[in-house]
């Protein structure tokens, strides 16, 4: 086991079941599709000296299943971002007959809020060289639902937007800017699912879970969120003050992300 010359400087969320040893960072306890790393799902770590595999990093957060950027604020009412659907592949030196997957999405809550997430985006799965791409929406802890009327393929430019009208109502919209088509779902009362905290804005590439286990992570190449913005207390913000998050399993970084300027977040697959 690689010796960690680091210090634990912050937790992204507090959980009575969260692992405390650094080498247990990769442990996943996601129990539903598109579950989040807040609350009972994973631990955020701030690495301040020698990081994963000897890489020197500064103030980086690591998750077992989220990579991207997270902004923490008050009264977050909308989050938006534009990205191009990547051509997803089976990772090199991996079994082709295993299904691999990843999801790119924007959302409200989940990092520090453990009760609900409002999110929407695109899933990407691949097996035996056959890839499938789907647009979807979700009010976690309910299950993901597919926008069956909206077709997406690699190269399509997608705009994903979530809006919270209250802690128990909101809208998810996916627009295919390449084809000019869009799909939308509205929750008028999601109080039976869980209340939003409206404290987080997120632009995420996720290693999602199926049947209680993280799906093998697909090689998504690169996902770049452009025009990334959110509204909090009536003011529009970019990602400049957001926290960068990377995915790490067993001390290896699988996906690394960085902010660029005021309104871009770029994530690359490194598995």
CA angle 10, 16, 18 (to 5 degrees): 55
- CA dihedral over 61, 67, 71, 76, signed as positive or negative: negative
- 143: which residues sit within 8 A by CB, 6+ positions away? 32, 33
Rounded Cα–Cα distance for residues 214 and 212 (Å): 7
**Mean pLDDT estimate for the chain:** 82
Q: What's residue 59's pLDDT?
A: 52
pLDDT, mean of residues 136-142: 97
Percent of the chain with pLDDT over 70: 78
Instruction: Quick: pLDDT tens for 75-94.
Output: 999 999 999 999 999 999 88
Q: What's the whole-model pTM score?
A: 0.82
Please enumerate in sequence order all residues whose Cβ is within 8 A of that of 146, keeping only pairs 6 or more positions apart, or say none: 134, 135, 136
Scanning the structure block, which residue is given the tokens 């009327």?
A: 149
Topology of 25-269 in CATH?
Jelly Rolls (2.60.120)
Catalytic one of 61, 138, 163, 206 = 206
pLDDT at 39 over 50: no
| Least confident stretch, 28-37, 141-150, 195-204, 211-220 | 28-37
Distances (CA, A) of 222 to 77, 154, 206: 28, 12, 13
| 212-270 per-position pLDDT tens digit | 889 999 999 999 999 999 999 999 999 999 999 999 988 899 999 999 999 999 999 99
Place of tokens 């799906």: 215
Q: In the annotation, is 61 catalytic?
A: no
């Amino acid at each position: 086991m690689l010796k960690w010359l680091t210090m634990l400087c912050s937790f992204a969320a507090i959980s009575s079941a969260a692992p405390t040893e650094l080498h247990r960072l990769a442990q996943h306890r996601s129990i539903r599709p598109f579950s989040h790393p807040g609350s009972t799902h994973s631990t955020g770590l701030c690495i301040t000296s020698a990081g994963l595999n000897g890489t020197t990093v500064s103030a980086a957060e690591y998750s077992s299943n989220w990579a991207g950027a997270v902004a923490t604020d008050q009264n977050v009412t909308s989050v938006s971002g534009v990205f191009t659907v990547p051509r997803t592949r089976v990772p090199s030196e991996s079994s082709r007959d295993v299904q691999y997957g990843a999801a790119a999405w924007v959302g409200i809550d989940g990092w520090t809020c453990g009760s609900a997430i409002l999110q929407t985006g695109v899933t990407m799965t691949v097996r035996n060289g056959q890839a499938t791409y789907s647009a979807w929406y979700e009010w976690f802890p309910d299950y993901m639902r597919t926008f069956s009327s909206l077709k997406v393929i690699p190269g399509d430019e997608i705009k994903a937007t979530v809006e919270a009208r209250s802690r128990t109502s909101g809208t998810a919209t996916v627009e295919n800017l390449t084809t000019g088509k869009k799909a939308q779902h509205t929750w008028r009362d999601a109080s039976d699912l869980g209340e939003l905290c409206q404290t987080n804005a997120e632009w995420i590439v996720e290693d999602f879970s199926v049947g209680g286990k993280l799906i093998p992570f697909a090689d998504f190449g690169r996902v770049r969120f452009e025009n990334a913005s959110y509204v909090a207390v009536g003011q529009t913000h970019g990602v400049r003050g957001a926290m960068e998050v990377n995915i790490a399993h067993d001390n290896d970084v699988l996906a690394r992300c960085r902010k660029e300027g005021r309104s871009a977040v770029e994530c690359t697959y490194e598995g």
